[in-house]
Structure 1
């Protein structure tokens, strides 16, 4: 079988704020909904959203943001005619470890602005030079500056990202890491390409096949299952909508910047370690950087379709499937749910397990130092295992 043709080129001036006049007009013409509570009890609070919108329209420094975002190492890869966007931070040491680092929804490469330099230049951040990484941060199909699929189930992130790392960037092996959707892609990469994936570092676990459930659940595992069910009841409405009728909401979110911000920012508020004040953890410009990527590329709809296609087209796990490559499980106390080590071991070859002291669903921005330390510890462990 012939490998897909991969063409890689730099992507200069990726961020172009051509849309600003239209954005300002749309924000100014917003017909705001009423509310009966001024806090987050019913969802996104106007007392947070209105100042954010005012800043997006009138306070955000577009020139400075363009210079900062365009200074990042942007590239594009054309894989059999399909284009994905990625950042590539080269490690400072002589032999850095290739790392495929993947975010989830509703995030973007912006989440890794602080973490990526720490991983590529460990010495400057208190680490050892031989624990540097070559950091590759791709955008999922239909996310950000990656191409939007034009038909159902057109491309698969697992195959695209593996071809990017091997055929495109010529890495013989690599570590795959991620949170949220990124953790799921890392898991599937380990199952599909164990000869190339040296190890995976994830902050969410995939459940084992339903019939691989012996021995019986421990008390801790049973409590985890109850927590998952409770989270689904309390927080899972977005997931059910996006996995069943994503197009219905996409029209509104793609048309209204306030609607888009409300849908996305609520997740940063509820899924993080922000506590009662969102901006204590996420600077307002960081949140707008992330919103801008979804708005400029009009990818909120295609990013939501990812959930539908995962639900309807993804090949289910087979009885006996097991991740054989060394795995690091890194849990964050304010993430959606915390999988116990016993549960993770049912499906993964767990060689490192940790529950961090702080952080939530967006750890690369919330706690980049802790994240970098855990990744470096895993690289050190992998080297010990190979000796």
Structure 2
């Protein structure tokens, strides 16, 4: 482990602002709004604020507020935050982000989970190919192997808890499936989607309704995942070269026809949204991050054995602006001992409703003996 500090040269920020100001805007159909993709009107306003109102220096200091490290595991450089809880018996908890967010996904809940009697030793890594970890795309199962070594060999924990959503869900599920002897409990905010491989005869009515919703959503909003899984390199050239293109692609995932205030709230606010985008920009990891979809897809197409259902106790929280999967769907993959419908929040709940999300994690993990 080597201490790590985010320290981006001013020349990178100057170049960013020049690129934003030199954007060639494509134009948009009259009255397009968000229905054709990211709104050009909104994006122009955001670009102006990005150059003239947003302060990277402020958020760089925020990123450096908590201890960060680099560790080499199996020859791969892994960046992670490591914050010890101040309770007398703090429990180790590994938090894994997804796409298009980053380790910054969890910054609001760090003080909530490291204070008080029911506290945690938080380990928050950047997935390889994301943020300040090495720019290489691995499968979710391969990342789970690295996380197990990070927790047990680098940090020395005999057992630990884990939570994740989106890409982090797949990694956390793989951890529980492969390493039940060291994973005490797991928590999820999603558990994948029906992709036509399930036998309808085995599905409940609620699961069939969920499958119909997912099919409709996939055709209207799922283009990003298809591109990532098939032609990630073609996409990477433009996103790595233009900050406005990068922002447009990330925001199109969060829009789904929503209003700008909802989109910003989903990322925790406008400044937090831009900070997350900045992490991709300054590390030039948009290409390697989207390639992870291809690595997972190739492994699946190549006949990789599906993970077995894990017996590790699992908690599940379904937020209202997340796909509403029923408990029966979750029980196909994990040992559900806790299932809760949340009152507010969406895909990035740790940013949008941090108090509720932190309370859910604390309540679940401290209920597991």
* Cα deviation 1:124-148 (Å, max 9, x = unaligned): xxxxx1x211111111110010001
Which residues of 2 match residues 177-256 of structure 1 at below 5 A? 177-206=163-192, 216-256=202-242
RMSD between aligned alpha carbons? 2.5
1:28 matches 2:21: yes
Aligned with residue 375 of structure 1, among 354, 357, 361: 361
Query: Are the counterparts in 2 of residues 191 and 323 from structure 1 also a CA contact under 8 Å?
Result: yes
Deviation at 1:327, TM superposition (A): 0.6
Q: 1:374 to 1:155 in 2, by over 3 A?
A: closer
Residue in 1 that maps onto 2:321: 334
Equivalences, count: 366
Q: 1:106 to 1:215 in 2, by over 3 A?
A: same
Which residues of 2 match residues 1-387 of structure 1 at below 5 A? 8-36=1-29, 37-121=31-115, 123=116, 129=117, 131-149=118-136, 156-206=142-192, 216-270=202-256, 277-280=262-265, 282-313=268-299, 318=305, 321-335=308-322, 337-383=323-369
Q: 1:349 to 1:379 in 2, by over 3 A?
A: same
Deviation at 1:330, TM superposition (A): 1.0
Please report the TM-score for the alignment, with normalisation by the length of structure 1: 0.88
How far apart in 1 are the matches of 2:306 and 2:282? 43
Deviation at 1:201, TM superposition (A): 0.1
How far apart in 1 are the matches of 2:87 and 2:218? 44
Unpaired runs of at least 5, structure 1: 1-7, 124-128
Please report the TM-score for the alignment, with normalisation by the length of structure 2: 0.92
Q: 1:132 to 1:26 in 2, by over 3 A?
A: same
Q: 1:253 to 1:210 in 2, by over 3 A?
A: closer
Query: Are the counterparts in 1 of residues 233 and 291 from structure 2 also a CA contact under 8 Å?
Result: yes
Q: Which is worse superposed, 47-56 or 230-239?
A: 47-56
Query: Are the counterparts in 2 of residues 271 and 334 from structure 1 also a CA contact under 8 Å?
Result: no
Unpaired runs of at least 5, structure 2: none
How far apart in 2 are the matches of 1:294 and 1:320? 30
How far apart in 2 are the matches of 1:65 and 1:211? 44
